[in-house]
Amino acid sequence: MQTSGVKRQTSNVKGQTNGDRASGGPVTRDQGSPKPAALVIGGGIAGIQAALDIADAGYPVYLVEREPSIGGRMAQLDKTFPTLDCSSCILTPKMVDVGRHPNIELMTYSEVVSVAALDGAPPEESASPTRGFRVRVRKKPRYVDLDRCTGCGLCAAACRMKGRVVSRFDEGIANRSAIYVPFPQAVPLKYTVDPSACLYLTRGRCGKTFLCKEACPADAIDFEQQEELVDLDVETIIVATGFDLLDPRLKPEFGYDVYPEVMTGVEFERLSSASGPTMGKITVSGREPKDVVFIKCVGSRDPHTGVPYCSRVCCMYTAKHAHLVRDKLPDARITIFYMDVRAFGKGYEEFYDRVKHERVIYRRGEPSEVYRLRKNGDDTGRVVVLAEDTLLGRPIEVEADLVVLATAVVPRTDVAEVAGLLGLERSPDGFFQEAHAKLSPVDTNLDRIFMAGCCQGPKDIPDTVAQAKAAASSALGVLSRCERKLTFDV
């Protein structure tokens, strides 16, 4: 690992020059760093909310996000249940606040590579660190100068790979260029070169000239950019690393990846989103579906897939999906297959009632299989969902031209790595373990490290925000005590 070029940064409020940095000498808290700082790992709604609360209280925050933009999963969603607020409409103002907040140092396209307690011991051996942490962050090269880039997008329009690179943000249902912003409301609104897709970065050359560089009026593209390592000294850390969704291919009976008619809930969000690739038009292979089937608990409540727990959000987002289909396709036949309906939150049961009145048929039974519907040996572009309607007590076959799978919420694929980095314990479900299931829900096994959102377990947006505010409150306690040089004796 490259260590020579490591920058060391104390809590620097934006616009404030720090004399110690220029000298390059070691900086310690005693040499008059103005305010103790916090680190928030993960820039989804949990990390955004926690960072804003700490920053609003007057303490500096580093918000580290590995993607080019903050926003996380919530930015991908169309509407939110049960109020049907447009997800980006309520999220974007908070993202902008983060970008502009004088107390937040936003580090996107960056990853935490190491964490050490400042009293010398690794965090897991320092049960009650008397000082904070030194955190090393790797800023991946964007190959775009953040100060110069204006976000105009001329580079992406000129890119030779335009329309040929799968957009992960759009869950593969749309393509982008090799130089991109993940979505139009990105914060920061700065372009990034995808090193796995850029012709120059993968093959060493891109035609005779760089089309992106030629197109950029700000001269912002810099293929010489190197990764940068930055050391941060912080007193407290909030982990808000989020979740992944179960790979539906682990349930091969549903034919995901076999039939274009079968998609996941997040893919449906992108399809239904007015700012998505289809401008919110629900189509499958260019056609409007007439029969839409939703399958809940895909992988959830199923120890076979390593997900013995309930994913908590699927009942409600599936009800919301059904509503969105009804809204856009008034004549569609909509069937939701369910095992149980868990509508436990404020306004949730009412929303479930409302959706049922919108001619959405709830059929009790977990489908067993999806296969291609053929007529006289020919592909009809439709599929058959096999199930038992357990209330009728007989096997049924429901034809569909769109099947949406509510896939389980699972820990991030690199959860073990992150746990190792910080010394965090994990619960049997794989998520991070809270210090006490009831009384310390945002505390981890380590002092000064808190967590928020789905990295602790599946939860919806209201619960995530509540947890983020709780984690921020706990972190503020640490920061306040540090500032007043109080001891941590409990």
Partner 1 sequence: MPHYERGMALKTEPMVEQLELMGCIQCGKCTGGCPVARKTVLNIRSLIYDMLVEPELDVNAHPELWDCTCCFTCVERCPKDVRPADLIIGLRGQLVEGGRIPETIGAALMGVFRQGNPTGLAREDRAAWLDGVDEKQRTAVKAAQDGCEVLLFVGCSPAYDLRVQVVPRALVRAFTVAGLDFGTLGTEESCCGNEVRRMGEMGLFEMLVEENGELIRGAGARRVVTTSPHCFNTLKNEYGLDVGGTGAATSDIGHASASKIEVLHYTQLIAELIEQGRLAFSNEVRKTVTYHDPCFLGKQNHVFDEPRAILKAIPGLKLVEMDRSRERSLCCEGGGGRMWAEGTNLEERLAFQRVQEAADTGAEVLAVACPFCLLTLEDAVKVQGLDERLRVMDIMELVDLALNDDGEV
Assess 75 for contact with partner 1 (CB under 8 A): no
Assess 389 for contact with partner 1 (CB under 8 A): yes
Q: List strand residue ranges (DSSP E) for 177-227, in order.
A: 179-180, 192-193
Assess 368 for contact with partner 1 (CB under 8 A): yes
Shortest Cβ distance from residue 128 to partner 1 (Å)? Answer: 43
Backbone angles phi, psi at 371, to 5 degrees: -140, 170
The smaller minimum CB distance to partner 1, of residues 82 and 367, is found at 367
**Are 40 and 63 within 8 A, CB to CB?**
yes
In angstroms, rounded to a whole number, what is the distance separating the alpha carbons of residues 350 and 93?
Answer: 28
In angstroms, rounded to a whole number, what is the distance separating the alpha carbons of residues 461 and 439?
Answer: 21
- Distance, C-alpha 96 to centroid of its chain: 17
Among 15, 163, 286, 377, binds partner 1 (CB under 8 A): 377
In angstroms, rounded to a whole number, what is the distance separating the alpha carbons of residues 123 and 418?
Answer: 13
Site for partner 1 in 239-258 (CB under 8 A): 252-253, 255
In angstroms, rounded to a whole number, what is the distance separating the alpha carbons of residues 226 and 216?
Answer: 20
Assess 281 for contact with partner 1 (CB under 8 A): no
CA dihedral (190, 193, 195, 197) in degrees, to 10, reads 120
Shortest Cβ distance from residue 288 to partner 1 (Å)? Answer: 24
Among 147, 393, 439, 490, binds partner 1 (CB under 8 A): 393
In angstroms, rounded to a whole number, what is the distance separating the alpha carbons of residues 277 and 174?
Answer: 6
Say how many residues touch partner 1, by CB under 8 A. 27
Assess 16 for contact with partner 1 (CB under 8 A): no
Assess 367 for contact with partner 1 (CB under 8 A): yes
Assess 369 for contact with partner 1 (CB under 8 A): yes
Assess 371 for contact with partner 1 (CB under 8 A): yes
In angstroms, rounded to a whole number, what is the distance separating the alpha carbons of residues 298 and 254?
Answer: 9
Residue 101 CA: distances (Å) to CA of 55, 104, 228: 7, 5, 23
The smaller minimum CB distance to partner 1, of residues 24 and 393, is found at 393
- ∠ CA 225-114-25, nearest 5°, is 70
The smaller minimum CB distance to partner 1, of residues 203 and 304, is found at 304
Among 5, 26, 122, 395, binds partner 1 (CB under 8 A): 395
**Are 59 and 478 within 8 A, CB to CB?**
no
Shortest Cβ distance from residue 127 to partner 1 (Å)? Answer: 39
Assess 372 for contact with partner 1 (CB under 8 A): yes
Among 29, 134, 356, 364, binds partner 1 (CB under 8 A): 364
End-to-end C-alpha distance for the chain, whole angstroms: 39
Assess 388 for contact with partner 1 (CB under 8 A): yes
Site for partner 1 in 34-63 (CB under 8 A): none
Site for partner 1 in 291-310 (CB under 8 A): 297, 301-304
Binding mask 333-362 for partner 1 (x = CB under 8 A): ------x-----------------------
What count of residues does the chain have?
Answer: 490
Segment near partner 1 (CB under 8 A), from 166-174, 196-204, 353-361, 364-372? 364-372
Shortest Cβ distance from residue 361 to partner 1 (Å)? Answer: 16
Backbone angles phi, psi at 428, to 5 degrees: -60, -25
- Tell me: cis bond preceding 188? Omega within 30 of 0 counts: yes
Assess 193 for contact with partner 1 (CB under 8 A): no
Q: Among 220, 242, 254, 210, which Cα is nearest to 66's?
A: 242
Assess 386 for contact with partner 1 (CB under 8 A): yes
The continuous run of DSSP H or E covering 415 comes out as helix 415-422
Shortest Cβ distance from residue 73 to partner 1 (Å)? Answer: 25
231 three-class SS: strand
Task: Name the site residues for partner 1 (rule: CB under 8 A).
Answer: 252-253, 255, 297, 301-304, 339, 364-369, 371-372, 374, 377, 386-390, 393-395
